[in-house]
Structure 1
Amino acid sequence: MTTLQSKRVLLVVGGGIAAYKALDLVRRLRERGAIVVPVMTRGAAEFVTPLSLGALAAAKVYSDLFSRDDEHDVGHIRLARNCDAVIVAPATADRMAKMAAGIADDLAGAILLATRAPVLLAPAMNPAMWSHPATRRSLDRLTSDGIRFVGPDAGEMAESGEAGLGRMAEPLAIVAALEALLAGPADGPLAGRTALVTSGPTHEPIDPVRYIANRSSGRQGHAIAAALARLGAAVRLVSGPVAIPDPPGVETVHVETAREMLAAVEARLPVDLAVFVAAVADWRTESQAPTKLKKRPGAEPEPLRLTLNPDILKTVGTGSRRPRLVVGFAAETADLLANAGVKLAAKGADMIVANDVSAEGGVMGGNANTVHLVTAQGVETWETMAKDAVAEKLAQRLAAMLADKDRP
């Protein structure tokens, strides 16, 4: 029996070209024993027909908020409550914005506002729309509300020929994400495990108004913490200064400097698994000026005397309270794999996740990542994915690695 056997899944099909994938998604869900209840938006009917969707689901297709037949007993509330999960695929920029604002001007919107079931969104849109600040605000709002996401993926757009991040996740990936969601933390592969994640940058003060930092947004680290929690781990996140919400279901502590981060990490040991994603500043000033450093007319600026910050990954990876599994990240602009290999050996890590941050407007602060998993056994390169998708896939891999360590 699968996780989806006899589960009632409400499938909201949005108005985008990727709606055609919803037909295959219905088939994949039903193969696993799910009962699929289709809901179509007006836009979805421009791409696929209710007849096709209903035939594959072997169920009535709902679309009208003001249907006399369906709403005599407040049908949208009945649909919202009588399900185990809701999938929105494709989730358009418009649908995400309406959900974030709590707008319920159609049947899909009313259901999404009224449901108490877990909701999984599979975004699909043009790359420019996905990267637009308005969509980023919607994503942050929905994530903080507990909405789960799968994708989008990178690739060519069907409607425009453009390439980038915005393709809807493939049906099997959506099914896998739903299975993990419905399995629940108590039944997840990391149930009973403890995990520690670091995320974001550190700020090393120069004077009361200036500091040394980097462009890390914390998105990848926060996504990994959330993904580990969804697999059942009790997650402790130590975050540098970021502008994104704390992941739901994760114990989060906020710090500023590398020394504060190390102290917070050590205070939360021992754990089974540690993932060091934070982009910790390598140096800090020897001393912080008590007042703002001022320019002096005609004079050269005073040189900044720097000193090394503590190496958090190496401290934990080679320490007496080393977790059973230690993973570090390597953000490089040149000789990526060579530098990651050196880091693997020097820091006492089981794996280094390497990514190239040389491109302006790329990984640092961006929404996608191309990672290379460097271990003693070799290098595995993953295709470019949304950071949430990288997090889901990495969390599953780490759960499998811990399980392997349990075997005699």
Structure 2
Amino acid sequence: MLSGKRILLGVTGGIAAYKAAYLLREFQKAGCEVRVTMTPSATRFMGTETFASLSRHSVAVEVFNDTDPGDSWTRHIQWGEWADLFVIAPCTANTLAKLVHGQSDNMLTSTVLAARCPVLICPTMDGEMYESPAVSDNLKKASKLGFYVLEPDTGYLASGLEAKGRLPEADDILTEAARIIKKHRIQGPLTGKKILVTAGPTREFMDPVRFISNPSSGKMGVAMADAARALGGDVILVHGPLSAQIPERVQTESFVSADDLFELVQTHADADIVIMAAAVSDFKPSSPSDQKTKKTGRTESLDLVQTPDSLAWLGEHKNPDQILIGFAMETENLIEGARAKLDKKNLDWICANSISDDGSGFGSDTNTIHLIGRESMQTFSGSKKDIASEILSMIFESD
């Protein structure tokens, strides 16, 4: 559930701030991308450099940052839209009070107001503070406002007392984070389904500077990934070099060659639905050179061999309940060629489009696709984004 998710980790000024570094690593081990925002007082316990190094992102502390004046003051908006979950651990009594009263005097509290994702608060403080009427009242207000609150553990505190107020163990926080993300994920016909989508071209290198490829932008595959996510799917987008923007909250892995793609397809072959929209080179140089090939003035020949056929392999190893969707691009005999590919490669559906049609094919924002099944065919025209949504809705909402 956490793999590929985007976690915004908020760290406030308590002694347990050092534990947030371990929590960050545990989220990363679970497959999450993590960014960190800290209150100014938190930097007295842990330096921003530690979290920047671990997260591989700059740490946001102040809304206005003289050392990074660019877009830093709008980061609370950007990160609030970016995250799947905002985890504030530890959360001090002071920050808790600010959250329930809507104050925004630093980057962390400002980002909470801008967040479009659920917020998990882990209150952590001395036992007497935690049991105080003001904190108890603020915790109730936080729950009423829609914040998730994970109660602290009981144990030995920094004050030397045994009481309730310790930051919960990382495993407990991750378990609660997964539960919240699962509760808030998009509900649709693909909810709970793992969707593998491939997109973009492959590159088959002849030497270190030249390769065989095609003009694919990856726009159609990216649109299919975004449409699958909108229907509730847990999407993994495996892509080559793209000129299309990757949609938010989609897990990605990249490839260069057809061999790279084949390895990734085998890794994710357990997907419930596979959408093979990548434009794969059918051939590669048999003996690529380690050095740049020099021009000699005489005619050169290039010996080619076939690349692995990922789609055929998937068809041969297809699970009974798996849905396999392929793509076919032709310059002639489009429908006949697509039907033959549907049968030969054991597909459930194939999306056929012609590179010869205006407003269709490589690089275009629009397309015309013939969706061909075993006993049906339907044509869709328009933007690639709209077509992707219509195709998946027709296939899966009609089931």
Band the TM-score falls in, shorter-chain normalisation: 0.5 to 0.7
Quote how far apart the aligned CAs of 1:359 are.
4.4
Distance in 1, Cα, partners of 2:389 & 2:185: 14
3-state SS of 2:352 partner: strand
3-state SS of 1:222 partner: helix
Contact kept, 8 Å, 1:283 with 1:308, in 2: the verdict is yes
How many residues matched? 223
Q: Which amino acid letter does the alignment assign opposite residue 379 of structure 2?
A: T
1:259 paired residue number: 259
1:315 paired residue number: 313
1:386 paired residue number: 383
Quote how far apart the aligned CAs of 1:244 are.
2.7
Q: Could you list the runs of 5+ residues in structure 1 that have no partner in the other structure?
A: 1-113, 119-182
Contact kept, 8 Å, 1:327 with 1:352, in 2: the verdict is yes
1:221 paired residue number: 221
1:195 paired residue number: 195
Alignment map for 1:329-348 (pairs within 5 Å): 329-348=327-346
1:234-260: per-residue Cα shift (whole Å, max 9, x none)?
A: 111110111333221111001100010
Alignment map for 1:364-383 (pairs within 5 Å): 364-382=362-380
Q: Report the TM-score when normalising by structure 1.
A: 0.52
1:169-201: per-residue Cα shift (whole Å, max 9, x none)?
A: xxxxxxxxxxxxxx9744222111111000000
1:395 paired residue number: 392
Quote how far apart the aligned CAs of 1:323 are.
5.9
Q: Could you list the runs of 5+ residues in structure 2 that have no partner in the other structure?
A: 1-112, 118-182
Q: 1:197 to 1:323 in 2, by over 3 A?
A: farther
Q: 1:228 to 1:214 in 2, by over 3 A?
A: same
Quote how far apart the aligned CAs of 1:230 are.
1.3
1:270 paired residue number: 270
1:27-73: per-residue Cα shift (whole Å, max 9, x none)?
A: xxxxxxxxxxxxxxxxxxxxxxxxxxxxxxxxxxxxxxxxxxxxxxx
Q: 1:338 to 1:257 in 2, by over 3 A?
A: same
Q: 1:323 to 1:203 in 2, by over 3 A?
A: farther
1:324 paired residue number: 322
Distance in 1, Cα, partners of 2:271 & 2:318: 12
Contact kept, 8 Å, 1:185 with 1:230, in 2: the verdict is no
Contact kept, 8 Å, 1:237 with 1:253, in 2: the verdict is yes
Q: Which amino acid letter does the alignment assign opposite residue 343 of structure 2?
A: A
Quote how far apart the aligned CAs of 1:399 are.
2.1
Q: Which amino acid letter does the alignment assign opposite residue 382 of structure 2?
A: M
Q: 1:309 to 1:244 in 2, by over 3 A?
A: same
Distance in 2, Cα, partners of 1:245 & 1:378: 32
Q: Report the TM-score when normalising by structure 2.
A: 0.53
Q: Cα RMSD over matched residues?
A: 2.3
Q: 1:363 to 1:273 in 2, by over 3 A?
A: same
Alignment map for 1:148-297 (pairs within 5 Å): 185-297=185-297
Q: 1:323 to 1:213 in 2, by over 3 A?
A: farther
3-state SS of 1:370 partner: strand
1:212-248: per-residue Cα shift (whole Å, max 9, x none)?
A: 0001100010111011011111111110111333221
1:79 paired residue number: none
